[in-house]
Amino acid sequence: MSTYRAPLKDMKFVLNELAGLGEVGKLPGYEEATPDTVDAILEEASKFASGVLDPINYSGDQEGSKWADGAVKTPKGFREAYKQFCEGGWNALPFEAEWGGQGLPRLVSTPVQEMWKSSNMSFSLCPLLTQGAIEALLLRGSPELQRRYLPKMVEGSWTGTMNLTEPQAGSDLSLVRTRAERQGDHFLISGQKIFITYGEHDMSENIVHLVLARTPEAPEGVKGISLFVVPKFVPNADGTPGKRNPAKCASIEHKLGIHASPTAVMVYDKAVGYLVGEENRGLEYMFIMMNAARFAVGLEGVAIAERAFQRALAFAKERIQGRDLVQGAQGTNAAVPIIRHPDVRRMLMLMKSQTEAMRALAYTTAAAMDYAHKHPDAEARKQHQAFVDLMIPVVKGWSTETGIEVASLGVQVHGGMGFVEETGAAQ
C-alpha cells in the first residue's frame, strides 16, 4: 500500500501564486507567516502526516473504535499519535496567541489540515470538531466560559464535539427535543443525540460537548433552541476535570471508511450544562460551528481526492497489463504498466486536475477568511466575509461531490483490486 506524501509543490503553488500568501502575511498579526516559516511548517506537517498518521490509517479502520460499558477505546496508536499531535502544537496552529494558539493564518492551517485528512481521515475528525467548538466559544462564549475552556481546548488536552442530530431531527433541527432546565447558575440537560463525532473516546482528559437543547418556556421550532456547553467532567475551580457528568455514550455507529472515528450515541441524563450567549439563539450560534465544519468537510473532499489520486498513480505505474497500442518502444510488443494506456492516463489526469481545482477554491476561500478577520479596513472585512459566506457552501458541496467522483475513478484505475480492502482504494 503506497504511503501518503503531501503534495507540497502543488500546495505551495496555490498558496503563493493564487491565494496570495505574501499579501496575507502582511495583515496585522500575521507577520510571522513569512515564506520561510510557512515552508518549514509544511515540511514538518508532511513528516507528521506520513510518519505518524498514515501508518495507523488502514490498521485503525480495520480495528475500529470499540465501545464497552460507556467507554470507547480508540484503535492501537491513536492515543499516542494524538499526544504527539498536541505536544507538537498542531492543535493550536490557527488560534490566537491569547489562548495559547500560534496565531497563524487560515491560509497556512488549511494545507496542514488537508495533510491530516489525506493521511488519516478518522484521526483528523477529532481536531476538526474541537476547532469548531473553539470558534463558537470565541465568538459567543461568556468571558468565564472562555477562560475556563479555551486554553485546554486550544492546547488539545480537552476535545470538543457538536451535538445537533437526534433520531427524529436530522436536516430539520426545528424538531430537536433535548431539554434544558435551569438550576441556579447552570442548566440540567436531558435527551439523546446521535452521530456525535468523537462524542466519547480515550485520547483526551476531558470532552466538551456543545449541545442544542430547549428550555421549558422556549417557543416551538428553530427560534426556541439554545446552545449549551456540557463537559464530560465538570471543571473544578482550579480548572482540573472534576465530577463525572451524566453525559454518557450509549453506543457507537460504524461508518464506512472511518471506523476508527467514534461516532457516538450520547445520552444526557440531567447533565450539568452552561448556556452559551442568549437563550433561544442557539441555532444561530451553532451556525458558527457548522460553517467551520462545512469548510473542513469541503477540505475532506480535496484530501480524499488527493489520496485516491496518489494510490491510483502508484498502482498504475506498477500494474503490468496489456501492450502498447503502437508496438513497444523498442518494437518488442512487451506488456506495459497500465499508465501507458491512454484511457488510464485520462482518468489519472482528470483526478489530478479536479483535485487541483478543488484545492485552489478551498485555499482561496481560506485567504478570504484571513482578510475578513484581520483586514484593517472594516468595509474590506465585510466584503471578504460576504465572499466567504458565498464560497463555503460551494467548497463544501462541490468538493465533496467531486471527491466522491475522483475516489470512484481511483477504484476504476485499480480494476478488480479497487474492491479489495487491502489496496486502500476502498477506504
Ligand X SMILES: Cc1cc2nc3c(=O)[nH]c(=O)nc-3n(C[C@H](O)[C@H](O)[C@H](O)COP(=O)(O)OP(=O)(O)OC[C@H]3O[C@@H](n4cnc5c(N)ncnc54)[C@H](O)[C@@H]3O)c2cc1C
Nearer to ligand X, 165 or 385 (CB): 165
Q: How far is the CB of 198 from ligand X (least distance, A)?
A: 7
Q: How far is the CB of 195 from ligand X (least distance, A)?
A: 4
**By Cβ distance, which residue is nearest to ligand X?**
170
Which residues fall within 8 angstroms of residue 266, CB to CB, at 6 or more apart? Answer: 163, 192, 193, 194, 196, 199, 200, 209, 247, 248, 249, 250
Q: Which residues bind ligand X (CB under 6 A)?
A: 129, 162-165, 170-171, 195-197, 255
Nearer to ligand X, 46 or 402 (CB): 402
Amino acid symbol at 387: F
Nearer to ligand X, 46 or 163 (CB): 163
Nearer to ligand X, 4 or 195 (CB): 195
Q: How far is the CB of 193 from ligand X (least distance, A)?
A: 6
Dihedral through CA 27, CA 30, CA 36, CA 37, nearest 10?
-170
CA 278 to chain centre: 28
Nearer to ligand X, 196 or 296 (CB): 196
Nearer to ligand X, 186 or 255 (CB): 255
Q: How far is the CB of 199 from ligand X (least distance, A)?
A: 7
Q: How far is the CB of 169 from ligand X (least distance, A)?
A: 8
d(CA 133, CA 279): 18
Q: How far is the CB of 247 from ligand X (least distance, A)?
A: 14
d(CA 224, CA 205): 33
The three three-digit cell numbers of residue 414, written as one number = 485499480
Nearer to ligand X, 300 or 370 (CB): 300
Which residue's C-alpha cell is 496570495?
A: 20
- Give the count of beta carbons closer than 10 Å to the beta carbon of residue 422: 11
Q: How far is the CB of 29 from ligand X (least distance, A)?
A: 30
Beta bridge partners of 320: 337
As separate numbers, helices (DSSP H) first and strands (DSSP E) second, the chain gives: 11, 13
- Give the count of beta carbons closer than 10 Å to the beta carbon of residue 406: 27
